[in-house]
Structures are given as structure tokens and as C-alpha cells.
Structure 1
Amino acid sequence: MAPYIYMERNGIHIINLYKTTAKLDEAKDALRKIAASGRKILFVATKKQAKDIVADLAGDAGMPYITERWPGGMLTNFVTIRKAVKKMATVDRMKKDGRYETLSKKERLQVDRMRAKLEKNLGSISEMTRMPAALFIVDTVREHIAVAEALKLGIPIFAMVDTNANPRDIDYVIPSNDDASKSIEIIVKAATNAVKEGLEERKTEAGDDQPKEKKEKKAKKAKKAVASSEEEE
């Protein structure tokens, strides 16, 4: 992290905030483009001071997140993870169609426990039907398994990287304090705002396309009407 450190004082490394700002702007631009393309960014933060912040901000941006334990094989064994998510959906269907009521008290208790456990670990990714386009990680040292899986599959990594970490394997390094909740909130909020901007761009483009299609349809109808009138003459 030497290139991102401004100075050392009493054994504490001070991050160069000019470089943090530049790197954050670079990351925001890339995140906005990914969101505008309609792909998902998976946010990962399991440390106590980050999990609530990430859950609120990523959830508000409509992006999946992991704030409990990282499920081993979350990316490298995505098919199995999807099967676990489908189990949750099956239980939900059972409760709707009445099959749940036909189970014994003991069976219902087992089903409820399984559903609660899956919800805790995988609830936020239940809508993620395909692999994420990128990961946004708070604390790459703590989330080293997530980093390793993303590297293995070639998934781009955006991350808050503190002075105790190695930025070599991170595609979009955001040099920052990943221990202070205020610092985490500022960086994650900037990232999720960029995601929202990308989603708005996507909506605007979709809205602009609709009138064009309608105009084309109207033009085709007009041409057909003219052609048919000429034939009648």
C-alpha cells in the first residue's frame, strides 16, 4: 500500500486522501457502467461495523449483499448455492398452497429452522439468478475467501483496501480505513449512489427506446395504408 500512504506518524500510516478520491471516482465510473448494463454487483461485508451499513445501502440500491458468513463456494460452486435458494422458495410455496399445514408439528419445526438458517445466510441473494458481474468488498483481509473465488473466476473486484492489505489482486482499489464505520459509510454510499445513477441511465434509455418503436410501428402502418389505397385505385 506504499503508493497510497501519505506519511507515518507514531506507527500509524496515514492514507493519502487525494489518491483515495481519485481511485473512488474511477471505481464509481466503472460501477455506474456495470449497473447501466443491467448486471449485478455483489456487496460483501461481514465485519460488525460494516454489515448494517452495507445491508441498508446495497439493499436500497437493489443490489445483492453478503453480511453474515461468506458461504464457501458462493461463486465457484454457484449451482449448489442456487439449489439452497430454491429450497427457500419451495418452503414459501408450501406455505401458500397449504402443503405446510399437512406436515406434523415436528416436521414444520424442522422446515422453519432450515428456512430461517437459509434466510440468514442467503436471503439477500435470493433474487440473484446468475453470477455477479463484480464484487464490492469491505476489508479484503477478512474477506480473503471471497477475493480468492472472484480471482479464480475472473470476476472484477472493487474494494476498500486498508494499509494492512495487499492491493495487488484488486481491480479497483479504494485506499481507505475499513475499520471506522464513518469511513465505510462514506465509501459505500458513494459506490451505491453510482450504482443508482447507472440504473437510472438504464431506465432512461429504455424509456427513450419505447417512443422510437412506437414511431416505427406507426410509420409501418401508414405505409401499409398508403400501399393498400394505391392498389384500390
Structure 2
Amino acid sequence: MISRRLILRQGRRALSQPFNTQYRAYTRVQTSTRDNAGLEGENEVDAVKQFFERQSAALAASQPSASPTQSNEVDVKDAEDTGDTANYYHLARHQKKSNTQFGSAQDPFYKPRELITNPPKPEDITLELLLASQSHLGHKTSLWNPANSRYIFGIRDGIHIISLEVTAAFLRRAAKLVSAVTEAGGLVLFVGTRAGQDRCVVKAAELSGGCHLFERWTPGGITNGTHILGQCKTKVVDEHEQELPGYQNQLSQRAALKPDLVVCLNPLENYVLLHECALDNIPTIGIIDTDANPAWVTYPIPANDDSLRCVQVIGGVLGRAGEAGKQRRLAAAKEGYLTYQPKQQLKKPTFADLAQEKLHVEADLPPALPPAPTPASHASSDGEHLVQ
């Protein structure tokens, strides 16, 4: 009984208000809203039509009028295509030209070709660039080397994250070192033996005026360079990097040249090279991942050595740094100054030496093997360099 009375009471209240008034108010709101939207759409369409008509009239007025004969020929040939096609075409070109300034510019963005043709400079090193290059990604935590704990920022999804601030700081330090070596007339060797690193290595060596290696390192190239690299051609250049003739007799009695600095982009595959550099006191720069030993190189750069983009960025920065040092050295040479201290180890050639070297060049004879190794240097008197 109680439930029946409650239902009847609520039903009377619901039926007390007429339904027509509610529906009438709802329809009135809906129709007014639709009418307003329709009016706005029609106004926009009319505005667009008026704009096109004004543009078409302006373009038609600006174009030179054709002769009656030409207009008649056009009417006869293409009576159906004599509408506003030309005007619409010119209008579209005008709108495209005027709207090019609108929108957002997505710059800089990744272009794989530019890392080789136009490598970044040391001034372009930013955390955003290193992050986009995946320089922060390390290896699994089970493969880490405890000596890299000071370079690790944290752990995410089971892999170590390298601190980008440390990477940027160490990369700037390495760039300053390469720039100082090339400014002093030193020889820099860039090494990268993994797949895809050959173009980056060649470009860095070309910029800095050094040497490159993108194949397997021959063991003994530094410790036993007299017998392995003894047949390589060596020349003497002045402070302007111009070759000087007449020194072949003196160069045949000298040992093979050794690099003043070695930049290794994949130290894990070139441990023999790094060991020979350590035995001969040659400083080295290397990309150290979380699974590598930072003690193998003199100046480590903690970064991801498995990312080709990261390797290209680091190699390009070091190559640009070497180019800057070489340009400073050549600029000082033009002004009559030397940025290095030459050593008294080469004598000026005589006329007999020049004549003998000319005969060897004409006969295309290979250089003689040096009889005994002697201490080698990369500079001589009067600002002369040895280049191999």
C-alpha cells in the first residue's frame, strides 16, 4: 500500500506540468541555435565568394587586354574553357606566395646527410642535440663497468642512462684538445671500424688535415711501424702546407711517422690500437659506453657508441675543432708567425739532392726502406713538417 501511494503521488506531480510547454521550449532553443549557425556559415561563404570575386577582378584588370582577333580565336577554339581558370591559377599562386610566411618553422630537424656534409661545430653542442642523438642510452645494467658509475645518471627499464651534462663537458674538453693539437701542427688519427662510420671518419680527417682508418687496425703499426709502414710515402711541407722537394734522401733514413693524437670512435674493437698508443705515450680520445673501460683512453667521452647518429655528431664536432685549429695555424703563418716550435733535425737540401729526387720521380721508383729506426719528429727547422 505504501509503495502504491508513493507511485501515485509522484505520478500526479509529473503529470501536473504540461508536456507541450517543455517540448516547445526545447524546440525553440534548438531551432534558434541552428538558425544562428546556418546564418554564420552562409555569411562565411558569402565573404569567401566576395573575396575571390575581388581578386579575380583585380587580376583581370592588371592583365593586358588581348586583341579582338586573339579573343575570337580563343572563343572559337575553347569556348568551354574560357572561364576563370587562368584567374584561379594566378590567384592560387598569389595565395601560396603570400601565405608562405604563416605557420611554424620546425628548425632544426634531423637530416642524416647534413651530419656528413655540414657537421656541427663545438659551439653547437647542446643537451637537446645530444638527447636527440640518443647519446644518453647505455647498455643493460648487467653489462655495466663499475668504473663508469660517475658518468651514469640513473636506470630506466633495465638500462643505464648516461648523464648528458657530463657528455657535453667531456666532448667540449676533447674538442679543445683536438683544436690545440692541429694548431701546433700535430697529426691526428681518426679511427672508426664499425659499419657506417667510414664517411664520418673520412670527413673528420679531411676537415682537420689528419689521417683516417675505417678498416681493421694492423697490429704493430705504432710499436713496429718501421717495418709495417716503412714503404709509405712521406713528404715535407712548410708552414703553408706546401710540399718542399729534395728531402727524400733524409726521409729514407727516418722511422715511420706516428700520430700525435688518436681519436677512436669504437674502443671495444680497437683495444690493440689503444694499447700500442699507451705503450708509446700517445694520447687518445674515445667514446666510452657503459660496458667499456674508461681507463683504455686518456680522454673519455661517455656516450652511446651503438648509435650511428651519436657517433657522427661526436666525430663531426671533433673534426670541426681540428679545422678551427688548422685555420688559426695557417692564418698565423700568413702573418709570418709559427704556432709551434720547430726542431733542428732536417738539413736544407743541396742541388744534388734535388737532382736525384727529380730522377726518382721521373723513373717512378719506390722510396728506399729505412735501414734503422731513429727517433722521429713532426717538425723541422724553418717551420717544416713531415706528413705521411
Change over 3 Å in CA distance of 1:151–1:157 after alignment to 2: same
In 2, are the aligned partners of 1:49 and 1:180 still within 8 Å (CA)? no
Name the residue aligned to 1:34: 181
Structure 1 distance, partners of 2:218, 2:207, is 23
Q: Show the counterpart of 1:122.
A: none
Task: Give 1 or 2 for the bigger CA radius of gyration.
Answer: 2
2:162 corresponds to 1:12 = no
Out of 34-43 and 168-177, give the one that drifted further.
168-177
Amino acid at match of 1:200: Q
Q: Which amino acid aligns with 1:142?
A: E
Once the two structures are superposed, what CA deviation does each residue of 1:66-119 show, in whole Å capped at 9, x if it has no partner?
111101111111112322425xxxxxxxxxxxxxxxxxxxxxxxxxxxxxxxxx
Q: Give, in angstroms, the shift of residue 206 of structure 1.
A: 0.7
Tell me the residue number matched to 1:24: 171
- Mapped to 1, the partners of 2:205 and 2:149 lie a distance apart of 30
Per the TM alignment, residue 59 of structure 1 is displaced from its structure 2 partner at its CA by 2.7
1:56, distance to aligned residue in structure 2 (A): 2.7
Q: Gaps (5+ residues) in structure 2?
A: 1-147, 234-255, 338-388
Aligned-partner residue type, residue 162 of structure 2: I
Q: TM-score, normalised by structure 1?
A: 0.69
Q: Aligned-pair distance for 1:11? A: 1.9
Q: Which runs of 5+ in 1 are unaligned?
A: 87-128, 211-233
CA contact (8 A) 1:140 1:147 kept: yes
Which residue of the partner structure matches residue 100 of structure 1? Answer: none
What SS does the corresponding residue of 1:132 show, helix, strand or coil? coil
Mapped partners of 1:56, 1:199: distance in 2:
15
Match in the other structure for 1:146: 273
- Match in the other structure for 2:216: 69
Alignment of 1:1-233 (within 5 A): 1-86=148-233, 130-209=257-336
1:13 Cα offset (Å): 1.2
Tell me which residue corresponds to 2:8. none
Shift of 1:49: 2.7
Residues 30 and 203 of structure 1, relative CA distance in 2, 3 Å threshold: same
Using the TM superposition, give the Cα deviation of residue 139 of structure 1 relative to its aligned residue in structure 2, in angstroms: 1.6
How far is the alpha carbon of 1:130 from its aligned partner?
1.4
The answer to whether the 8 A contact 1:135-1:155 is kept is yes
Displacement of 1:207 in angstroms is 1.3
Whole-Å Cα distance in 1 between the matches of residues 335 and 154 of structure 2? Answer: 50
**Identical aligned pairs, as a percentage?**
29
| Cross-structure match for 1:108 | none
Q: Provide the TM-score with structure 2 as the length reference.
A: 0.42
Q: Over the residues paired in the alignment, what is the CA RMSD in angstroms?
A: 1.6
Match of 1:215 in 2: none
